[in-house]
Structure 1
Amino acid sequence: MSFVADSSSHDIQYYDAHIFTTVTSTASVVDEWIATTMHIYKRKLCKLLVGLDTEWCLPTESNSHQKVAIVQLCVGKRCLIFQFCHAVSIPSSFSNFLGNEKFTFVGKEVGNDAYKLHEDYGIHVARTKDVGYWASKKYHDKDIRKMGLKALARKFLQKFIPKPKEITMSKWDVKELTFEQIEYACLDAYVSFELGLFLSKPRVEFQYLEELKPKKILCPCNFEIDSADYNAYEFQSARGRKFWREKGSRRY
C-alpha cells in the first residue's frame, strides 16, 4: 500500500486475482488512471467493458438526499475509487470516459448509478448494461433479474463476495476510507466487470453452483469447504489479510 497526497494504492486479493486499486479525490490521479487504462486496453477501446458502482452518503436529519460519495470503476484487474465528495473538481477525462458511447458500463442496477451521477453531478453515462437483466435474457430465466450482485457472482462465477451490513451501511463520505470499505468497494466493481466479461462470451451450458456435486465451495483464500457447512463460516478481513473462521470459534 502506498500514499501520495490525497491518494492511496492497494493490492486487493480476491481468490487468485490481485486487483490494483487506486483511491483518490485528486483530479490529476484520476487523469493518470484513465490515461493508463486507455493505453493498456487501446486495442479494445471499441468494445471496452467497465465495471461501475457507486456508494452513497448516509441520509441525515436535515437532509434525506443520499448524494453519491464515491464512484468505483474497474477494467480488468485495475480499479479506481474516486471520492467525489472530497474532490475539488471533476476532471474532464472522467466525464469523457463515462460519456464514451463505445464503452459499456456494467453492474447490478447500473442504470440507477448512472441516474444518480447525472442527478448529483450532471455526469452522463453513455451506455449501461444491467448484469441481472443481461443474464436473465441470455439464460431465459426471469428469476435471475431479482438476484443481487452476491447471488449473481455465486451463480455464474461460482465465487463468494462478502457484503457485511456494517460496511454496506457505513459512512462512505469519510475522508479516509477503511481497508474494509476499500475492499468492499473494489470487489463490487471488479465482480461487476467479471460478470460482464462472462456474459459477453458465447453462452455455455454449465451447472449452477447449488447443483454441483460433490458440493464444494472455493473460498477467497483458496481452500474448499463443504457447502452444507457454508453458513457456519464467515468471511473475515483484517489489515488486508483474508481468512475464514468458524462462527463461535476462537480458532483461526
Structure 2
Amino acid sequence: MSQESGVASTRKWAVLAAGVGLVYVLVRNRQTLLGPLRRVWTSGGLLPQRQIEVINSVQDPATQWVLNELKKHCQNFKVLGFDCEWITVGGSRRPVALLQLSSHQGLCALFRLCHMKQIPKDLRELLEDDSVIKVGVAPQEDAMKLSHDYGVGVASTLDLRFLCVMAGHKPEGLGKLSDTHLNYKLDKHWRLVCSNWEAKQLEPKQLNYAANDALVAVAIYRKLCRDLEPKYFWQRCAPDDTSLRNKFEPFLDVDFTKGFTLNPTGSGMTRSKGSAQPQGKKWMLKKQPYRQMATRSKDFYDNCLLQAPDGELLCTIDRRKASWYINQNLGTQISEEPFTVRLNFEPAGRAVGDVGRYYQTPKENQCVVCGERDAYIRKNVVPREYRKHFPMVMKSHTSHDVLLLCPTCHQLSNISDLRVRNKLATQCQAPFKREDGSVKYHDDPELKRVQSAGKALLHHGAKIPAPKVAEMQKTLLEYYTEQSEVTEDLLRQAASVEYRIENSDYCQHGERVVQQYREKFGGLVELERLWREHFLHTMQPQFLPELWNVNHNADRLEVRASEGRVDKADLLVAGLDAKVKII
C-alpha cells in the first residue's frame, strides 16, 4: 500500500470516528441542545396560528360554528385550555363575565356570559363532557364559580401544576410556567387583570390577555406531556396520546392546594421517579387530613413461616408475631433460616384455594407501584375510616389490603382517593367536607356572646374599660329579660352557658357510607371492590403480590362459610348471603 493511500484511509477513519462522536454528543446532550430550540419553536408557533372568536349572545351565528369546531378539534386531541374572568364590586364578586376555551389548533372562543345570561346547550355539553380534559392553573376554582353562577358542571379539570410535580418541575403560576416552558411572556399587569370584563365591548388588550391564558395552557400541557414521556427527535407520535390519561386520572377535578405546598426548608418529598431535582426551594406533598403511617426504611415483611402441628404451611408472618407464639408456649421454633414456627395447637382453619395461597406467598419489600426499595409506607387500599366500621369478620386478617408504597406514590395515591371520597359523599349523602352534616355541634352566636360576656365580667370586670363593661351588661340583660340588673349570680349563670348545640343532621362520613353500602348498595364487599379497582386504575401497580385480587374478601368469606366459621348475619352485611351456603 502506498503512503498516499494509507494517509487517505487514515483520514476516512478519522472522519468516520468524528462523525460517530458528534452523533453520540448530540444524542447524549439532546435535552440541553434542543431544549431552547424546542421552546422557541413552541412559542413561535403558538400565537401566529391563533384564531380568536368572541361570542356575545346565544343567537350569534358564530356561536354554533365555534362550538362545532371546538368539538371537532377535541375528536383528535381531547384537551381544552380553560379559564374564566370576572369583576369584583365593593368587595363582592360578580358572576363570571367571560369564559375562555381554546383548542390545540389555536382556536380560542371567548364566551361573554355576562351578555349571554345563559349557557348554550352545546357549550354545556362540552363543559360536562368528562372525556375532554380542561387544563389551566387552579381550574377547579373557575369550575366552582361557573357552577355557582350558571348551574353548569365542568368535568375533568386538570391543574397543570400536578403535571409539573410529576415531571420534576417547579409548580408555578401560569405566567411563570409560560415563560419557563414556552419561552413566552404573558402580560399579567394588574390593570389588565382587574379590568372591566363586563364592558360593552372588550379592548384588544383584554382579548389578547384572555385568549393567551387559554392558549398557553394547552401548549404548556403538551410540553409537560413530552417531559413525562420524552422521545427522541426522530420519533413521531400523534398529538392525542391517550396512554397518558391514566397518569392524570387521579388528579382530575382535584384542588392542587390540597395536595402540595411549598417547603421553604427544602426537606421532604420533592419529585417524581426519574425526574430532575429542581434547585432552590423545593415542593413537597402536603399531609392529607387523615391518618398516615410513618415512613419505614427497614424491611416490613420478614416472611417468617407459620406451620400447623403436622407441618403444613399456614402463612407467612413477621418475626415479632412468630416470637410471640414461642414466648406464649403456643409454638415451637423449627428452623432459623427461614425462621419457622410450628403451632402446638390445631388452628381454626387451614390455607384453602387462592385465598390461602396468598397468605402463604412471601412478600417483597418494595413499592408495589414503581418497585422502589429504599423507603416505603403502608397504604390502606380500603381506608381505615371505612374499614373500622366493618364487622369483625371483615376487619380481621386484612393484610391483603395493606400494601407498601414509596413516599411519592403513597401521597399521589392519597390525593387520588379524594375523588372517590367525594363521590361516596354524594352517593351516600355523607358529607366529607365541613358541611352541615359533617359538623357534630353548631355554635349558637348569641349564646356564645352571653358566655363570653359573663366570663369576662366575672373574672376580669375590674380591668375592662367602663364603655365595654356597659356593652357586655347590655348583652346579658337583653338575653336574661327577666333580670333588671347584672349580679354576680347572673354572671356565674352566664359564664356556664353551653353555646354548643348538637347537630341533629350530623353523620360521620365513613360510618354513613358503610351503613349505606350495607343496606342499599350490595354489601360491604362492593365497597371493598370499589376501592381496590380505584387503586388498580389510578396507580397501575407493577409489583403487586402474587394472587392479589379485588374479590379477595368475598372469596375468603366463602371459604369460611364452607367451614362453618361465619354466620348468616355477617354474610348479609358483606352482601354474600344469597351466594354462599352456610354449613
**TM-score (norm. length: structure 1):** 0.68
Is the CA contact 1:72–1:186 (under 8 Å) kept in the aligned structure 2?
Answer: yes
Q: Which of 139, 148, 151 is 1:122 aligned to?
A: 151
Q: Quick one: distance in 2 between partners of 1:43 and 1:150?
A: 27
- Counterpart of 2:55 in structure 1 is 24
Q: Quick one: distance in 2 between partners of 1:89 and 1:121?
A: 7
Per-residue deviation, 1:33? 0.5
Indicate how the Cα distance of structure 1 residues 41 and 120 shifts in structure 2: closer, same or farther if over 3 A, else same: closer
Q: Quick one: distance in 2 between partners of 1:84 and 1:40?
A: 23
- Of structures 1 and 2, the one with the larger relative CO (CA 8 A, separation 6+) is 1
Q: Quick one: distance in 1 between partners of 2:165 and 2:158?
A: 12
- The one-letter amino acid paired with 2:55 is T
Q: Mark the runs of 5 or more structure 1 residues left unpaired by the alignment.
A: 1-13, 209-252
- Counterpart of 1:68 in structure 2 is 96
CA RMSD of aligned residues (A): 2.2
Per-residue deviation, 1:196? 1.4
Is the CA contact 1:23–1:80 (under 8 Å) kept in the aligned structure 2?
Answer: yes
Q: Quick one: distance in 2 between partners of 1:86 and 1:60?
A: 21
Q: What are the Cα deviations for residues 115-145 of structure 1, in whole angstroms up to 9, with x where unaligned? A: 1110111110110100112212221x5xx23
Say whether 1:55 aligns with 2:94. Answer: no
- The one-letter amino acid paired with 1:57 is I
Query: Equivalent residues in 2 for 1:85-234 (5 A)?
Result: 85-139=114-168, 141=169, 144-145=170-171, 147-201=172-226, 202-204=228-230
Q: Quick one: distance in 2 between partners of 1:26 and 1:197?
A: 32
Q: What are the Cα deviations for residues 37-59 of structure 1, in whole angstroms up to 9, with x where unaligned? A: 22344334xxx110000011222
**TM-score (norm. length: structure 2):** 0.30
- The one-letter amino acid paired with 2:128 is G
Greater share of helix: 2
Is the CA contact 1:49–1:75 (under 8 Å) kept in the aligned structure 2?
Answer: yes
Per-residue deviation, 1:184? 0.3
**How many residues are paired up?**
186
Is the CA contact 2:73–2:103 (under 8 Å) kept in the aligned structure 1?
Answer: no
Indicate how the Cα distance of structure 1 residues 91 and 126 shifts in structure 2: closer, same or farther if over 3 A, else same: same
Aligned residue for 1:177, secondary structure, equals: coil
- The one-letter amino acid paired with 2:76 is R
Q: Quick one: distance in 2 between partners of 1:60 and 1:161?
A: 28
Aligned residue for 2:99, secondary structure, equals: strand
Per-residue deviation, 1:98? 0.5
Identity of aligned residues (%): 25
Q: Mark the runs of 5 or more structure 2 residues left unpaired by the alignment.
A: 1-42, 231-274, 279-583
Greater share of strand: 1
- Counterpart of 1:39 in structure 2 is 72
Per-residue deviation, 1:161? 1.4
- Counterpart of 1:244 in structure 2 is none
Q: Quick one: distance in 2 between partners of 1:74 and 1:40?
A: 10
